[in-house]
Structure formats: structure tokens, C-alpha cells
Structure 1
Amino acid sequence: MENSSQKSDNNRIIHWLKNSITARMFTIGVLTLILLIPLFMVQELIKERSERQKSVVTEINDKWGDAVIINGPILKLPYRSYREKQITNAQKEVTTETIEELKFLYFFPEQLDIASVIDPMIKKRGLYQTTVYKSEIKVSGNFSPVNIQETEIAEDNILWEKAKIIFNISNLKGVNDQMNISMAGSSYNFTSRFEEVQPPLQKQQGLFLMESKTIRSRDLPLNKDIPFKMDLSVNGSSEISFIPIGKTTVATLKSDWKTNSFTGSFLPYNEHKITETGFNAKWKILDINRPFPQSFINHLPDLTPYAFGVNFMIPVDEYQQSERATKYGILVIGLTFLLFFLIQTLSKIPIHPFQYLMIGLGLIMFYTLLISISEHSSFLKAYLIAGISVILMISLYSKSILNRWKFPMFIGLSLFALYSFVYVIIQLESYALLTGSIGLFFILAIVMFISRKIDWNNY
């Protein structure tokens, strides 16, 4: 009797598990949570491939030459500074000693004109590519007469005979020709002074210091404007930018690159800067437009945050879009399981938890196909191939489960609409939240309309 009663209880439990809506919903919920594990693994795979892409691009850029930032030319004027130091001897007698120190003044140009022609090209390694370029840069302008009175330093302490011109550049490796500056007709070569300058000037946000020989007194801006001129040939990658140190800085950048973006604190002022054949951008920046003066005492601050220029980076966003797609993975899995749950509940067709698991793994395969195909093609093509493949696979598999074509066709159309909805959200930026909210509202409304026919008494 006890065995018969135990068997009866077991049969009731099995019958409840098979037919109870609550048990079915609980099972689907557990399977959904389990599928978060492979979905998380796919997200980690995308991050790993993205980091690999960044490391390869960095390696290519490092060999060719990094992004170029230019700051100069700047007049470096040494002066004597004195301070008193008290010394106590063995007899505790205090004496005062005057110590002489060598410090520097830095003066920016009155006028700074920059004209650059940039020739970008694409470098590839395996699946990855980046933008490098060759640039021809002409820098000209003039230094106005130095006003020592404004510095409150005695003119007798100024060492005019040791004045030099300094030039900061971020990419020494990319310099193709000897750097020199012509001042009032005289030419001065630059040499790297990286190891000999004071710590604040050794490296400012990647800027290396170049220094000229001593400037002749006739070429110094003592009581008249002194013109200067420089010609640079520099290789770089990704970006080129300039720091507007002139009291008036005028710059013109030309290139046949079509997918550029202008970066930095200042944008070009000309309207038709981008054309079908490239771009021709012009800047005019005054000293009142930037928050730093025309001269500094003792050291130069980091001025790279005020640079302006052009970015030539290739808009590689396949990994970003794939990562955004995986964030909607739980939505796709949940809505697909909900669709099969409604069909199972309304049609009374049994669906085994293993079959739900196979459907969920098929949905996960969409993301692995997406990331692998997008590395060899565009994101749109990869999305179409992966989406169509998974939709066909799940539709055909559901035919074997549901035994008729009506439901598989409905499932295929629903998945097509769902993947299309996710793709639209991924492409949108400003309206992604609005579109997603409206779409989810309509999906919820449809589910509420369909679920009203379910007999919830069968719990």
C-alpha cells in the first residue's frame, strides 16, 4: 500500500512538472540564467579581440611614428637669479651667503603661421589596420621685441649671449630631415636636449625638447621684430595637432583623407572645410582665446590640452557594435523563450527543457558568428549573415518540435523583427533609449494581449 501511494505521489509530481505553467516558467527562467554564462564568455571574447586589435595598431604606430603634437618655436632666455642662504659654522656663528642660480624666461611668437599638407595611407597587419601619414609642414612668423620690464627681472641679469630657440615635438622617430630654424636670414640647427634639461621640461605629455645653438645678438628680438621660418617633414599616425602659442596663430591643414575628424580645443572657422576630395581646414586663434599668456618664468607648463588638429583614425567600431549587441542578448533570449512558452501553452504542444536549451545555444551562436565574420567584413554584412543563419536554424528546428509550418514561420518572422529592432537600436545614438523604450512598450502590449487567453488556473 505504501509503495502504491508513493508511486501515486510521484506520478502527481511528474504530471505537475509536465503540465504546470508555474513549473514551466520556473524551468525557462533557470535556463535563461544558465545561458548568461556563455553570453558572458562571448562578451569576454569580444573584449579580448578588441584589445588585440588595439595592441596591433599600437605596434604599427610605434614603428612608423606615433601621433604628432608640435609646440614651438619658443625663445628661451637665461637670466641670473640670486638668493641668500644662512650658514652656521662650528662656533655657531651665522653668516649669509649669496648663491647665484641660472633660470630661464620663455617667450612665444607674436605671429605663428602653420601650413601643412598631409598624405595619409593605410597600414595593415593581418585582420587589423591603422592610418599613418607623411606630412610637410611650414612654420613661419615673427618674435616681437622682448619686454623685460614686464618680468620684473633686472636687465643686467639677462644673459642675451646665451639665448636659444626651443621646439617641442611628440614624435622624434618620425622626423625625416634635419630640423633647423631660419631667423632674420641666419640658420640654426636643432639638437635633442632630452637628458640635459630640468625635469619639468624633459617630457611634457609626450613632448620631447629640441634646442638650437646660441642665437646671435643681431638675430634676437631686442628692439625690432625678428621673422623666422621652419620646414618640417614628419611621419606620424592617427593624429596631428599643434599648440597655438602665437599671439595670433593661423593654421591651414590640407589632405585628401575623407573620414577625418577635427579634434582639440579649437575648430576650423571656414565653412567648406570638407569636400568630396578631402579637406582644407583653416584656424585663426588669438591669445585671448586661450587661457595662458605669451611668456613664462622658470618653466613651461603642459599646454597639450589646448592643442588643435585632425584625427585620421579609421572608424573601426565593429567590436563596439558587437559588444552593444551582446548587451541585448538577455532580451533576445528572454523574448524568444517567451514566444515558445506562449506557443506551448496555447497550443498544448510539449517542448522539453533540452529543446529550450538548444534554442538558447543557437541564439548565443549568433554573437560568435557576428564577431568572427565582422573581422573579415563590414558589421552590416556580418549581422545579416549571422542573423539569417540563426533564424533559419531555429525555424527549422522548431518545425521538428511543433510538427507544422504555421508556428515555425511565425517564430522566424518574430526573430527577424527582433534582430532588426536590435540593429536599429545599435545604430542609433541620441534616440537609442527612446526607440528601445517604445519598442519594448509595444512588445509588452502584444504579450499582454496574447497571454489573456491563457488559463492561469492551471498553476
Structure 2
Amino acid sequence: METQEHTPQNNKFGHWLKTSITARMLMVGFLVIILLIPLSYISSLINERAYRQQDVVNEINQKWGNNVLVYGPILKLPYKTYTETKTYNEKTKTYFKETQTHIKYAYVFPEQLNSKVEVNSKTLKRGNFESAVFTTQMDFAGHYIPVDLTAKGIKPKDIMWDKAKIVIKTSNLKGIKSEVQIKLEDKAYNFETNFNQNKNNNLDVLESSFIKDADLFKSKNTDFTFSITFNGSRKVELIPIGKTTTMHMTSNWADPSFMGNYLPNDETKQISKDGFKADWKVLHINRAFSQQHLKSIPNLTQFAFGTKFMVMVDEYQKSERSAKYGFLVIGLTFLVFFLIQTLSKINIHPFQYLMIGLALTMFYTLLVSISEHSNFLKAYLIAGISVIVLITLYSKSILKTFKFPLFIGASLSALYAFIYVIIQLENYALLVGSIGLFLILAIVMYVSRKIDWNNG
């Protein structure tokens, strides 16, 4: 009976793989690189679920109401202009003049615009996803001063005072939940949608009926009030067209993001877990446009200000940030096993390293799937505890002792806790992360000082 003999070269290579520190380091490094493949798939999964959430949020918002932007009230005042043409008559051999009348429009902004905005937010769910929406009541008051267009080359007699209208532009026509009327002095005027006017930056136009009171806007201040109720989402904005514009906003939203060119007054701003209050005041000197415009209403959306009602860091963003530390978790865990193997002379097979690495990657799939049905903290705790217990028990079967598995479990617990703290931080994430990595490096250097690196 013949037996297969192993060559000395094979015995030497196998012995080198088992005993050489360099061989173990190369093997561990190779496995870390291999495990980057499932980590990349997990990142793609998180992005896919995030895109799906955004699609659902957009669908909910489109049905409930989009962002709210109000641009108005604007006085639309028609006026006459004239052109003369000369025509030569062949029979009389003379020229005669013909005057043609053209109707153009001037757009006048109010002197004072005060707004009171109350926003009640809530969440709407679709399957595992939810979106923050709101209903806002916007009350406006202010006044116009007597209109004088002589500086624009328009004579008072050419202004068609009885054909004046009030114009309001908004980004969320579908979200309006009440009839819109404006009161000028003591008389109310209804608004209708103007479908014939071209949209300016996707803003819809509301126009009032003709204001036939010729005394308004001519020789005295004209007070106005109107209210609009919107169903909306994402943000509430106002364009400061008043020579002095103020806005007082209250909401039950606990995490506002103030946006635009103008921030609320710090002295009166209040933010708590029950909501916020904020006040804005914008003067004409703070913005680069005048109170009167000819030809068309200018595009002034760049001057809008208000509040964004969105979750700053949602569950998928936190999961994505957590997955970015996957390489660090796998690398440090393998380093712990490598140091234990090297210091205790316990042999750990590459397949066992691979199983531990796959268990670490499973943390992120558990985190994403559980967070869709619960909050991020609960999902993080369940996924973390599951993976730590699994690896600790598996380490017990490998290392044949209680001391090292308990140390591994404690190390993983500290590492996941450290990553969770970094995820929650925004302004200090880089600082805390850098300090933590420095301490980890110091510990590794201290532990590895007794290893005889010349042995292999």
C-alpha cells in the first residue's frame, strides 16, 4: 500500500503559515480587504432604502402639499402709454399723425407688511416610511402709501385706478385650504387663479377682482388684511416685499432650521422640546430692490426667508454614517484576535476570522432592517447586542477560555458605543473621533510592545 509523502517544501510552507507573525498579518489584512466587498453591498442597500424613503416622502408631500412660499400682496396698476406714427397720404401729399394707446402695468409693493404664521406639524406614514407635514395659518396685515409713479415717467391721469388688482404669488396653490380674500379698508375682494400669466420660478398667481374704488391708493394710506391656510411640507418662506417686513412664527416643531438671507432675532427666539417661536424684521435697506416695478413682477425668490421643517439626520443617514466605520470595526476586531493569537499562542484558522468578519457585517443589515420598524437607538442596541453575544460565544469555542471572550465582548461594546456617540455628534464628531482613534492606537502600541516581531 502506497502512502503519499509530503515534501519538505510543503511542510515548511504550512509551518510558516501557522507560526509566522508576518503570515498571520498578511492573512488578516487579506481578509479585511475581502470583507470590504459585503460592506460595499451594505452601503448600496442603505442608499437604495434611503432613495425609496425619499420617493415615498415626495409622494406624500405632493398629495398633502409642497413647500410654502408667499410673495405678496402686490398692487397691479394698469396705465396708458402712447406712441405716434406718421403716415404719408399720396393723394393729399401730406403727413398725418396717428396716436396709439397701449396698456402696461406697474407693480407696487406695500409700505408695511406684517405676518403672523402658526405652523402645526405632524407625521404621515406610508408602510415603513413617514414624512413630516404641516398645516399653517398665515395672517397678513399692512398698508400702502399713496402711489406716485411720476418718477417712472407715468402721469397720474394715465393711471387706470378703477382697473387695479392685487396679486399674490405662491409655490403651493394646491395646498390652499380656504378661500382667499383681501380686505382693503372695509371692503373685501376675492382672489382667482390667473392661468394666463407665465409662471415665474414655478410660482402660481392669484389675482383679485377689480378694485373699482378710485380713491384707494391715490391720496391716502390704504390698509389691507388677508389670511391663507396651507397644507404644506418641508418649509415655510416669505419674500420681504414690504418696505418694512416683519414675521412672527410659532410652531410645535422642536427642531427648526432657519433659512434664507435673514435670520430671526436672537433676543426673542425660543426653541424647546414643545416647539419654537421666532421673529424676523427686514428693512428696505437690507435688500437690493425697490418698491415699484414696471413691465413685470421681478423674480425675488433669492430674498426669501423662513423655516425648514425637516429631520436633520434621519435613520438612513445615521445607518450610512455607521456603515462608514465598518472597516474600522472589522480591522480593530481582527487586530484584537491577532494580538490574542500572538500573545497566547492559540491558533485561529482563517475561516474563523472570516466567520467573525461576516458576523460584524451582519450588524449593519440588522441595523437598517430593524430601524425601519423602530427608532435608531433601539435598532442599534438590538443589532449591537446580537452581534457582540454571537462573536463572544463563538470566541469561547475558539479560544477555549472565558478570559479572552469576555475581553473581546467588552472591546466590541466599547467600540460600538464609541461609534454611536460619534454618529450623534455633528460639530464635534471629527474631534471626538480623532481623540478616540489616538487612544486606541496608544493602547495597541502598549499591548504589542511585548511581541517579538523578529520571530517570523
Q: Is 1:230 the equivalent of 2:226?
A: yes
2:307 alignment partner, one of 289, 305, 310: 310
Aligned sequence identity (%): 54
Q: Which residue of 2 aligns with 1:58?
A: 58
In the aligned structure 2, how far is the partner of 1:55 from the partner of 1:99?
55
Q: Which residue of 2 aligns with 1:14?
A: 14
Q: Which residue of 1 aligns with 2:261?
A: 265
In the aligned structure 1, how far is the partner of 2:83 from the partner of 2:338?
86
2:203 alignment partner, one of 186, 199, 207: 207
Q: Is 1:182 the equivalent of 2:183?
A: yes
What is the Cα deviation at residue 180 of structure 1? 2.1
What is the Cα deviation at residue 275 of structure 1? 5.3
What is the Cα deviation at residue 453 of structure 1? 1.9
Q: Which residue of 2 aligns with 1:77?
A: 77
- What are the Cα deviations for residues 303-324 of structure 1, in whole angstroms up to 9, with x where unaligned? 2232222333345521111111
* Ranges in structure 2 where 5+ consecutive residues have no aligned partner: 88-96
Q: Which residue of 1 aligns with 2:374?
A: 377
What is the Cα deviation at residue 250 of structure 1? 2.3
User: After the TM superposition, which residues 188-337 of structure 1 pair with which residues of structure 2 at under 5 Å, given as runs?
Assistant: 188-194=189-195, 196-197=196-197, 199=198, 202-204=199-201, 206-269=202-265, 270-271=267-268, 273-274=270-271, 277-315=274-312, 317-337=314-334
What is the Cα deviation at residue 100 of structure 1? 6.6
In the aligned structure 2, how far is the partner of 1:121 from the partner of 1:377?
18
Q: Which residue of 2 aligns with 1:141?
A: 142
For the 8 Å contact 1:219–1:226, the answer to whether it is kept is no
Q: Which residue of 2 aligns with 1:37?
A: 37
More moved, 400-409 vs 291-300? 291-300
Report how many aligned residue pairs link the two structures: 444
Q: Is 1:407 the equivalent of 2:404?
A: yes
Q: Is 1:423 the equivalent of 2:424?
A: no
Which residue identity lines up with residue 287 of structure 1 in the other structure? H
- What are the Cα deviations for residues 22-51 of structure 1, in whole angstroms up to 9, with x where unaligned? 222111111111111111111111111111
What is the Cα deviation at residue 167 of structure 1? 0.5
Which residue identity lines up with residue 407 of structure 2 in the other structure? F
Which residue identity lines up with residue 250 of structure 1 in the other structure? T
In the aligned structure 2, how far is the partner of 1:374 from the partner of 1:186?
55
Give SS of 1:124's match. Answer: strand
- What are the Cα deviations for residues 354-403 of structure 1, in whole angstroms up to 9, with x where unaligned? 11110000100111111111222221221111111111111111111111
Give SS of 1:238's match. Answer: strand
What is the Cα deviation at residue 353 of structure 1? 0.8
Q: Which residue of 2 aligns with 1:125?
A: 126
CA RMSD of aligned residues (A): 2.7
- Call closer, same or farther: CA 1:140–1:397 in 2, change over 3 Å: same
For the 8 Å contact 1:268–1:282, the answer to whether it is kept is yes
For the 8 Å contact 1:130–1:238, the answer to whether it is kept is no
For the 8 Å contact 2:200–2:299, the answer to whether it is kept is no
- What are the Cα deviations for residues 186-229 of structure 1, in whole angstroms up to 9, with x where unaligned? 322211113x12x4xx132x321111222214253112111112
In the aligned structure 1, how far is the partner of 2:136 from the partner of 2:40?
44
- Call closer, same or farther: CA 1:23–1:219 in 2, change over 3 Å: farther
Give SS of 2:450's match. Answer: coil
What is the Cα deviation at residue 168 of structure 1? 0.5
4+ residue stretches of structure 1 with deviation over 4 A? 3-6, 80-87, 96-102, 154-157
Which residue identity lines up with residue 12 of structure 1 in the other structure? K
For the 8 Å contact 2:269–2:279, the answer to whether it is kept is no
- Call closer, same or farther: CA 1:12–1:258 in 2, change over 3 Å: closer
In the aligned structure 2, how far is the partner of 1:209 from the partner of 1:8?
89
What is the Cα deviation at residue 246 of structure 1? 0.7
- Call closer, same or farther: CA 1:433–1:259 in 2, change over 3 Å: closer
In the aligned structure 2, how far is the partner of 1:182 from the partner of 1:427?
49
Q: Is 1:49 the equivalent of 2:49?
A: yes
Which residue identity lines up with residue 448 of structure 2 in the other structure? S
Q: Is 1:25 the equivalent of 2:25?
A: yes
Q: Which residue of 1 aligns with 2:92?
A: none
What is the Cα deviation at residue 431 of structure 1? 1.8
What is the Cα deviation at residue 19 of structure 1? 2.0
In the aligned structure 2, how far is the partner of 1:355 from the partner of 1:107?
77
TM-score by length of 2: 0.90
